[in-house]
Amino acid sequence: MRILLIIQGDYGRRYVEAMTQYAPRGWEINHYIFPEKLAIGVDDAPEDFLPPGLPGCDLLLMLQEDPVVAEMAPHLAEMTGARAVIAPIDNKAHLPSGLARQIKKKLAQKEIAMGHPLVFCALTEEDSTSPQIQAFARHFGRPKLEIILDKEKVAAVKVLRDAPCGNTRYVAENLVGVHVKDAYEQAGLLHHAHPCVATMTHDQEIGDTLMHQAGLMTKTAVEEALKEGLDEGLKDALIRYRGHSRELVPILQDTQEVFGYLPEAAMREIARFLQLPESHVYGVATFYDQFYFHRRGRNQIKVCCGTACHVKGASRVLEEFERQLGIGHGETTPDYEYSLERVACVGACALAPVVVMGKEVYGEMTPGRARSIAG
Ligand code: FES
């Protein structure tokens, strides 16, 4: 496919860079830069200002900063032989919605298709019947990702559809290694770190800024890909089992190994796989202390409340952790940093009272030491 980008000012340059770098092999990408200030008077015909000798193209991308240039789209399309035009609205000062609709009508009279997505990265294949726009939207438009997880961390991210400015690729590269629970918010931060070309001006039509809308689309793409990734993780956990009901406990253990806890969707899938009622699966899982039904904190603090520890003041230690973390035992802090549990004898009675955090065993605990651990 031959694509011609009509750009003006800094706004279009990022698109040229991304398209040139990431367009599929075989696509021909050309661009023409319009002067930032056009000396067009009221009596002038815009077509008089069109550049001669533009390369031919199948698809024209209008990425101007001045609506006057957008008005030239029908002439430019005719000159270049374009069968379709995409004029994204990333900033209504560059292209107001009403003008976009007028241009679309003029192009339709010449049987040239036009798409004018409200932010370029909202474009999908379903938005147009034009083969040129659909072919473009298969690669550029609304972000689409595939995420592979390793336990609860992002192990790899594949970009299935990049934002036309290359933003999604940047987000994907920087999500690797991020914890699943942080990935959604981190995607939003990364989207801002690779400056979005959409405007920060409040838009009445959508009640938000176009930049926030673009960020939301990136975050949604991450959320959807994570869900798929979790499903895949469960399939991996189930693959070595035959579906006998006696396999229930090992399956629960493997599932928890993958996710760090037993998500609701996983419990449903396990019940379906073993052809058992969900209530039975929950009944077995809740019988054992080893299983968790909520995401736990990065640091799991286990306060031993066995007899020896109880006698030596474990409850005061536990209360201090609860005070410091602002949660009760069995709970997790809202930032998922800490989970607090009271557990039975951990087998280190000589060191009572005992607290275990990760692989560390803390003996002879006092409320003061609890403060410094949780602080
Ligand atoms: S009672 Fe706490 S370690 Fe045994």
Alpha helices, H only, the chain: 10-22, 67-70, 73-80, 97-109, 131-139, 167-175, 180-193, 210-238, 248-259, 264-274, 278-287, 307-311, 314-325, 367-374
List per-residue pLDDT tens for the chain, 375 residues long.
Answer: 999 999 988 888 889 988 998 899 899 999 998 877 766 654 566 566 677 788 999 999 999 988 888 988 998 999 899 999 999 998 888 899 999 999 999 999 999 999 999 889 899 999 899 999 999 999 999 999 998 877 668 888 999 999 998 899 999 999 998 887 778 888 888 888 776 777 777 777 777 788 888 888 888 898 888 877 777 777 777 778 888 999 999 999 988 877 778 887 788 889 988 999 999 999 999 998 889 887 788 788 999 999 999 999 999 999 999 999 999 988 888 777 889 999 999 999 999 999 999 889 999 999 999 998 887
**pLDDT value, residue 38:** 67
Q: Which atom of ligand 1 is nearest to the CA of 308?
A: 1
343 lines ligand 1 (CB under 6 A): no
249 lines ligand 1 (CB under 6 A): no
304 lines ligand 1 (CB under 6 A): yes
Say if residues 160 and 137 touch (Cβ distance below 8 Å): no
DSSP 14-56: HHHHHHHHHSPTT-EEEEEEEPSS----TTS-GGGGPPSSPPP
**Number of other residues whose CB lies within 10 A of the CB of residue 315:** 13
Q: Where are the domains of the chain?
A: 2-139, 144-222, 240-287, 299-374
CA of 8 to the centre of ligand 1 (A): 72
163 lines ligand 1 (CB under 6 A): no
309 lines ligand 1 (CB under 6 A): yes
- CA dist 26 and 139 (Å) reads 13
**pLDDT value, residue 240:** 81
Q: List Cα–Cα distances, 166 to 159, 180, 191, 225, in angstroms.
A: 10, 23, 10, 18
Place of tokens 């909520």: 294
List the CATH code of the domain at 240-287. 1.10.10
DSSP state of 149: E
- Choose one of 341, 354, 356, 365 to mutate for the ligand 1 pocket test, by most ligand atoms within 8 angstroms of C-beta: 354
Query: What are the beta bridge partners of residue 28?
Result: 2
308 lines ligand 1 (CB under 6 A): yes
Say if residues 248 and 276 touch (Cβ distance below 8 Å): yes
**pLDDT value, residue 296:** 80
**Number of other residues whose CB lies within 10 A of the CB of residue 364:** 12
| Architecture of the domain whose range is 2-139 | 3-Layer(aba) Sandwich (3.40)
Structure-token pair, residue 315: 């409850």
CA of 312 to the centre of ligand 1 (A): 10
Say if residues 191 and 175 touch (Cβ distance below 8 Å): no
- Look up the pTM and report it: 0.63
Give domain 299-374's CATH number out of 3.40.190.10, 3.20.20.370, 3.40.30.10, 2.60.40.10: 3.40.30.10
Handedness of CA 32, 36, 39, 45 (dihedral sign): positive
344 lines ligand 1 (CB under 6 A): no
- CA dist 24 and 135 (Å) reads 11
DSSP state of 83: S
